[in-house]
Amino acid sequence: MELISPNNPRVKEWAQLLEKKHRTRQGKYIVEGVHLVQEALRSGADIECIAYDIEKGIPYELRGFAQLPDRKPEWAAVSCAVIAKCTETKTPQAVFAVVRKEARQADELLRQQDGLVIVLDGVQDPGNVGTIIRSADAAGAAGVVLGHGCADLYNPKTIRSTMGSMFHLPIVEAELTQILAAAKTGGARVVSTSLQASYSCYSYDFSQPVWLVIGNEGQGVSDAVATLVDDSILIPMVGQAESLNAAMAATVLLFEAMRQRKF
């Protein structure tokens, strides 16, 4: 299939996916670039179509996928104008994919008997959300929960920041008071950071089932979620920086938990 005009009805539909309301309405999102498309293919994501630059052809790294029999994705050769219209980066890469959203159920995480789950409470920066997902993947977390008020998982900036990790572990959007209460009922400890904490993160026992809450960049954990927190922990600092940003703090805690659990 070839699509040359950016005014093609299908191209217009794809371009709408740059806005959250249309991603919600269509139940789809776009991933840009060879690496992310490759990760989507490897993970078996529900890809509707892969569009590539008609002048450059299918990228070398993706040709093996295009040659496999009975592959679901449709492959479309498109013009540079179509790529520019459907992607957000200033210098777009020569390929993007349209992917259908897949609903993840909270039960998938609640069934984890000894899981380390990271919970985002109003983390608004797409780069922070994406980086935390990437760190959770690297540290072997069971999954990530996004509460209301978080940056959209399918925002192009969030997706780029995950570097493909969004395809590697369960990511659930949920009402935090409900899912945290259910996790506590199942035996998990709900943990968050606080400057008035009684535990250092290096003395806290992360070997038990832990749901780790990261709060909003400016306001911290919301009042409703704070009532469900069992333990508050502190990241010790010896320099003059007042604090770490949400993604850095989450990464420190995730890797300390991994160290205790695996090393």
Helix (H) or strand (E) holding 120: strand 116-121
What pLDDT score does 164 carry? 95
Q: What distance in Å separates the CA atoms of residue 186 and residue 169, rounded to the nearest whole number?
A: 21
Q: What distance in Å separates the CA atoms of residue 109 and residue 262, rounded to the nearest whole number?
A: 20
**Identity of residue 24:** T
Q: What distance in Å separates the CA atoms of residue 222 and residue 194, rounded to the nearest whole number?
A: 12
Segment 30-54 mean pLDDT: 94
Helix (H) or strand (E) holding 51: strand 47-53
Residue whose entry in the numeric block shows the structure tokens 């299939």: 1
Predicted confidence band at 195 (pLDDT cuts at 50, 70, 90)?
confident
What pLDDT score does 71 carry? 60
What pLDDT score does 247 carry? 96
pLDDT at position 250 over 70: yes
All structural domains of the chain, each given as residue ranges with its CATH number in brackets, are 2-100 (3.30.1330.30), 107-262 (3.40.1280.10)
**The token pair that represents 58 in the structure block:** 């299918």
What pLDDT score does 29 carry? 97
pLDDT in tens, 90-146: 777 899 999 999 887 788 889 887 899 999 999 999 999 999 999 999 999 999 999
pLDDT at position 56 over 70: yes
Mind giving me the DSSP string for the chain?
Answer: -EE--TTSHHHHHHHGGGSHHHHHHHTEEEEESHHHHHHHHHTT--EEEEEEETTT-S-GGGHHHHHSTT--SEEEEE-HHHHHHH--SSS--SEEEEEE--PPPTHHHHT-SS-EEEEEES---HHHHHHHHHHHHHTT-SEEEE-TTSPPTTSHHHHHHHTTGGGTS-EEE--HHHHHHHHHHTTPEEEEE-TT-SEETTTS-TTS-EEEEEEBTTTBS-HHHHTT--EEEE----SS-----HHHHHHHHHHHHHHHHH-
pLDDT at position 2 over 90: no
Mind giving me the DSSP string for 208-248?
Answer: S-EEEEEEBTTTBS-HHHHTT--EEEE----SS-----HHH
CA angle 259, 248, 228 (to 5 degrees): 80
